[in-house]
């Protein structure tokens, strides 16, 4: 390192010139260098590969900037890894959740169907006129659809005579995320479970 005032060669740690007494400022840490270092750190964070390249380019002549670029690159790489992993896992999580709720709704409909058949057996082959007649003798309570968090079966239940039949389904578009249309899944006296009309 040389004194900018008199040109005398100095040690790298010198704070004053021994020849002229001029205070030395490390020119590499001036305001322009700080702005460039901040920009390079930001670039390293956003594009980790660029940060690693900048580290190898500047590690000898600007060690502070190089170190900052390397740290930002590793932080950016870690954050990008987390974001990519989340982008892959989150949609799968929601899809799996929708399928799980659909399976629970199908199970509810099968339970209602079994209760209707038991009611029919005890009532000369007649199905109940409403689901309320199934409680508490055949069902402890009318189940709730896990997607809607409420009873979606009572309003959809229909029963008929000649022939004796019934149909019950999950009303609404509660299982659209699982690929099921409105009014499905459903359960009826003739076909049993009908999961979708597609």
In a domain, 130, yes or no: yes
Is residue 59 included in any domain, yes or no? Answer: no
pLDDT at 90: 84
Among positive and negative, which fits the CA dihedral 39, 42, 44, 48? Answer: negative
Q: Are 183 and 171 in contact (CB under 8 A)?
A: yes
Q: How many domains does the chain have?
A: 1
30 lies in some domain: no
Average confidence score pLDDT of the chain: 78
Q: Which of 11-15, 37-41, 171-175 has the lowest mean pLDDT?
A: 37-41
Q: Distance of CA 37 to CAs 46, 57, 66, 172, Å?
A: 14, 13, 8, 58
Residue 17 lies in a domain: no
Examine residue 184 and state whether it is found in any structural domain, yes or no.
Answer: yes
Task: Give me the percent of the chain exceeding a pLDDT of 90.
Answer: 0
Domain that holds residue 102: 95-194
pLDDT at 134 (0 to 100): 84
pLDDT at 185: 86
What pLDDT shows up at residue 41? 63
Per-residue pLDDT reduced to its tens digit, 89-128? 888 888 888 888 888 888 888 888 888 888 888 888 888 8
DSSP notation for 164-196: TEEEEE--SSTTGGGT--TT-SEEETTTEEE--
């Amino acid at each position: 390192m040389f004194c900018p005032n008199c040109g005398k060669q100095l040690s790298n740690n010198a704070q004053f010139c021994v020849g002229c007494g001029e205070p030395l400022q490390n020119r590499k840490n001036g305001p322009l260098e700080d702005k460039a270092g901040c920009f390079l750190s930001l670039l390293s964070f956003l594009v980790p590969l660029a940060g690693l390249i900048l580290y190898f380019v500047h590690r000898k002549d600007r060690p502070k900037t190089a170190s900052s670029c390397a740290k930002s690159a590793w932080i950016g790489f870690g954050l990008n890894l987390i974001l990519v992993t989340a982008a892959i896992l989150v949609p799968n999580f929601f899809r799996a959740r929708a399928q799980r709720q659909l399976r629970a709704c199908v199970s509810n409909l099968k339970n209602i169907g079994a209760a209707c058949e038991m009611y029919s057996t005890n009532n000369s082959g007649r199905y109940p006129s409403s689901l309320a007649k199934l409680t508490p003798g055949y069902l402890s309570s009318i189940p709730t659809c896990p997607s809607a968090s409420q009873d979606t079966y009572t309003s959809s239940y229909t029963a008929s005579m000649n022939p004796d039949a019934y149909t019950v389904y999950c009303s609404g578009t509660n299982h659209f995320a699982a690929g099921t249309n409105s009014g499905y899944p459903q359960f009826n006296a003739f076909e049993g479970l009908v999961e979708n009309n597609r």
